[in-house]
Amino acid sequence: MEESDLIAAARSARDRARAPYSLFKVGAALECDDGSVVSGCNIENASYGLTICAERVAVFKALSDGVTRFTRLAVVADTSELTTPCGACRQILWEFCGDIEVVLANLTGRVRRVRVGELLPDAFGDQSLKRKT
């Protein structure tokens, strides 16, 4: 899949965001290793703790459909500075996607590529739970 197609899928998902409080709409598109794409958008709730980010929506949708291998994630927001995943999303991405590429984009065409490991150095994962004997 072309990077531009993945960004377009994230941009389209952003249009479906439910952000009545912050007005900060974000879209994400997760590329699976079979070439399919699962999208997500942020969904806010008046009880802010129940709000969920676009990246987690995409990952959880994919996992609930039985998809477990991913290659890239695109994140699109309407900001001049590119929006990176929040800390909770970084942890979810590390846990379920590994060190995949994350393509950050905005509505003006600015793009940057990073890896999850760059966003979350010294990540906590399953290896962190192993006891030393």
What the block records as the tokens of 60 is 């959880």
Alpha carbon of residue 23 to chain centroid: 18
Catalytic residue of the set 55, 95, 101, 118 = 55
Return d(Cα 88, Cα 80) in angstroms, integer. 23
Quickly list DSSP for 67-129.
Answer: ---EEEEEEEES-SSPPPPPHHHHHHHHHHH-S-EEEEEETTS-EEEEEHHHHSTT---GGGG
Catalytic residue status for 55: yes
Cite the active site residues: 55
